[in-house]
Amino acid sequence: MKMPSIQGKVAEPVTKVNELPDNEKIELYRRAIKLHKEQKLGSRRISKILNISPGTIDKWIYHGKLPRPLYWESPAGEARKKEQKEQWTGSNNPMYGKHYTQERIKQIIENNKKWERTEEYRQNCREAQIKRWENNPEYRKSQTEHLRRIRTTHREKRVYYIHAHEKEVEKQTSLMNSQGFRAINVSISAKKPDIIAFKDGKIYAVEVETLRRRPPNYEKWEQPSPFDDIIWVIKETI
């Protein structure tokens, strides 16, 4: 069967909304809602226009989710703030029992908002973790000979059974073909199409491909196959 010449499309990088400033998040959210209400566009078309993940658009236009800056200004966000304030009162407050002044507490809260995981902080965490590991007498010790033998034996048995099963399936397939059957091997190692279709006494392998990042792999069926013909169904999008 003649193969059509189709070139694959490379997807553009999607903008990560969580990494954007608050004003840009709000602007994208409002544009998405406007496109959905005025032009009746779905999440996939809006995602192509705004270059955002369709999952994010789904949450905005179908599930009523809001970007974090707008959420805290909404009635649900205000209720959540009140609930959190009640949960962190009294002994539940991390400042409980610490005799800090109100100015000092405000300064700690502001410093926590500005805190970032710098490379120096991560390096200190790694060094502290290594010290904890080095205090363990079993650190960097190889597995015992007994465990190594058990794991190796189980792995060898599993590989042996899989190969033995595949050989038996191939043997039975050849035997049934010699007896007049039309048998096709569809075991683990065999090549399998998306659909197997029967018509007028012939067997067809149907491959359904969607052009997203790469073109269809036509070389998959270049070698002799047990099917009478290969049918390729090419879709631009789903």
If asked whether residues 96 and 153 sit together in one domain, one would say no
Q: Which residue is it, tokens 């009140």? A: 82
Of the three residues 54, 87, 111, the one that is the final residue of a domain is 111
> Residue 4: its pLDDT value, please?
45
If asked whether residues 164 and 199 sit together in one domain, one would say no
Q: How large is the average pLDDT for residues 128-138?
A: 68
**Global pTM value:** 0.37
Return d(Cα 93, Cα 95) in angstroms, integer: 5
Domain membership of residue 3 (yes or no) is: no
Nearest residue to 50 (alpha-carbon basis) of 41, 37, 62, 38: 41
Q: How large is the average pLDDT for residues 67-84?
A: 86
- Whether the predicted pLDDT of 92 surpasses 50: yes
Domain membership of residue 142 (yes or no) is: no
Domain count, the chain: 3
Return d(Cα 196, Cα 190) in angstroms, integer: 14
Return d(Cα 178, Cα 170) in angstroms, integer: 12
**Cross-strand partners of 234:** 209
Domain membership of residue 54 (yes or no) is: yes
Instruction: Find all residues with CB under 8 Å of 166, minimum gap 6, and list them.
Output: 187, 188, 189
The pLDDT tens digits of the residues spanning 116-130 come to: 777 888 888 777 777
Secondary structure (3-state) at 234: strand
| Domain extent for 181 | 147-190
Task: Give the least confident one: 123-127, 133-137, 172-176.
Answer: 133-137
If asked whether residues 165 and 220 sit together in one domain, one would say no
- Whether the predicted pLDDT of 6 surpasses 50: no
Q: Provide the 10 A C-beta neighbour count for residue 61.
A: 19
If asked whether residues 39 and 59 sit together in one domain, one would say yes
If asked whether residues 154 and 220 sit together in one domain, one would say no
With beta carbons less than 8 A apart as the criterion, state whether 191 and 220 touch: yes
If asked whether residues 183 and 210 sit together in one domain, one would say no
If asked whether residues 204 and 155 sit together in one domain, one would say no
- Whether the predicted pLDDT of 225 surpasses 80: no
The pLDDT tens digits of the residues spanning 180-209 come to: 887 887 775 567 788 888 888 888 888 887
Q: What tokens were used for 209?
A: 């491909």
Burial of 177 (0-12, 13-18, 19+ CB in 10 A): middle
